Amino acid sequence: MYLIVGLGNPSKEYEKTRHNVGFDTVDELIERHNIPQSGVKHKAMFGKGMIEGQKVIVAKPLTFMNLSGEAVRAMADYYKIDPETQLIIIYDDIDLDPGQVRIRKKGSAGGHNGIKSIISHLGTQNFYRIKIGVGAKPKGWDLADHVLSRFSTGDRKLVDDAIERAAAAVSVILSEDIEAAMNIYNRKAE
Sign of CA dihedral 129, 132, 136, 138: negative
Q: Is 66 annotated as a binding residue?
A: yes
Q: Is 64 annotated as a binding residue?
A: yes
What are the residue numbers of the active site? Answer: 19
Q: Is 113 annotated as a binding residue?
A: yes
Three-state SS string over the chain comes to CEEEEECCCCCHHHCCEHHHHHHHHHHHHHHHHCCCEEEEECCEEEEEEEECCEEEEEEEECCCHHHHHHHHHHHHHHCCCCHHHHEEEEEEECCCCCCCEEEECCCCCCCCHHHHHHHHHHCCCCCEEEEEECCCCCCCCCHHHHHCCECCHHHHHHHHHHHHHHHHHHHHHHHCCHHHHHHHHCCCCC
d(CA 130, CA 33): 18
| Binding positions for tRNA | 14, 64, 66, 113
